[in-house]
C-alpha cells in the first residue's frame, strides 16, 4: 500500500506548541524540516558577522540584526541564522509576535555539511519569492559565500570585500568572518 505525504499548512505549523527544549523545526513548502543544532564554528561565524554589522549599525541606525528568529514567508516558516530588518520593519515588528511577519531585507544562512543543496535552494527560493532582497549563504568549509538576489547569485571568495546597497557605507572582507 502506498502512502501519501500531506503537506502541513502554515496555520497548522503556527499552532504547534513551542518547545523550550528539543529539536527546532522549519516549514518549507509544506514540509516540516528538523533543524539540527548548530556547531560551535557555525555559531562563531554567525556571531562575528552579526557583530560586524551591529558595530556599523550603532553609528548608522538604519536597520536591526536579529539572530535565529522565525519569519512568516508566505506558506513557509524559516529561521535564518541572521536577519537584517530595515529600521521601519523592526519598529513595526512589535513584541512577542512569532512568527515575525515583517520582511527582512537580508537573511544569512550558514550552510552545514549535513545540509542538502536541494533544501538550501528551496530556502533561497522561498526567501526571494517572499520579497527578501538578499540571501547570503556562507560556506565555512570552503570559506566563501554567495549573495543571491532575484537577478542572480554572486560569489565572494575569502579575499573579496562584501558590500550591499542595503547597508550603505558598510563593507567587510570575507576572510574576517572565517578568522580564528
Residue 119 is predicted with a pLDDT of 87
Residue 75 is predicted with a pLDDT of 85
Residue 98 is predicted with a pLDDT of 78
Residue 20 is predicted with a pLDDT of 62
Is 56 part of any domain? yes
Give the pTM: 0.84
Is 33 part of any domain? no
**Distance from C-alpha of 38 to C-alpha of 147, rounded to nearest angstrom:** 21
Within the chain, which residues score under 50 in pLDDT?
Answer: 1-4
Is 120 part of any domain? yes
Is 5 part of any domain? no
Give the count of domains, the chain: 1
* DSSP class per residue in 115-149: --HHHHHHHHHHHHHHT-SEEEEEETTTTEEEEEE
Residue 18 is predicted with a pLDDT of 67
Domain residue limits at 52: 39-178
Is 10 part of any domain? no
CATH number of the domain residue 170 falls in = 3.90.1570.10
Is 32 part of any domain? no
Is 27 part of any domain? no
Question: What cell does 151 get?
Answer: 537577478
Is 6 part of any domain? no
Amino acid at each position: 500500500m502506498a502512502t501519501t505525504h500531506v503537506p502541513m499548512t502554515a496555520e497548522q505549523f503556527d499552532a504547534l506548541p513551542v518547545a523550550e527544549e528539543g529539536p527546532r523545526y522549519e516549514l518549507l513548502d509544506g514540509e516540516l524540516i528538523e533543524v539540527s543544532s548548530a556547531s560551535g564554528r557555525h555559531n562563531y561565524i554567525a556571531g562575528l558577522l552579526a557583530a560586524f554589522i551591529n558595530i556599523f549599525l550603532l553609528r548608522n541606525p538604519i536597520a536591526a540584526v536579529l539572530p535565529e528568529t522565525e519569519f512568516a514567508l508566505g506558506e513557509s516558516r524559516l529561521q535564518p541564522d541572521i536577519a537584517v530588518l530595515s529600521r521601519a520593519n523592526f519598529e513595526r515588528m512589535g513584541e512577542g509576535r512569532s512568527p515575525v511577519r515583517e520582511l527582512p531585507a537580508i537573511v544569512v544562512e550558514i550552510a552545514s555539511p549535513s545540509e542538502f543543496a536541494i533544501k538550501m535552494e528551496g530556502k533561497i527560493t522561498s526567501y526571494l519569492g517572499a520579497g527578501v532582497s538578499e540571501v547570503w549563504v556562507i560556506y565555512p568549509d570552503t570559506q566563501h559565500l554567495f549573495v543571491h538576489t532575484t537577478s542572480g547569485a554572486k560569489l565572494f571568495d575569502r579575499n573579496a570585500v562584501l558590500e550591499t546597497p542595503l547597508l550603505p557605507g558598510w563593507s567587510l572582507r570575507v576572510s574576517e568572518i572565517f578568522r580564528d
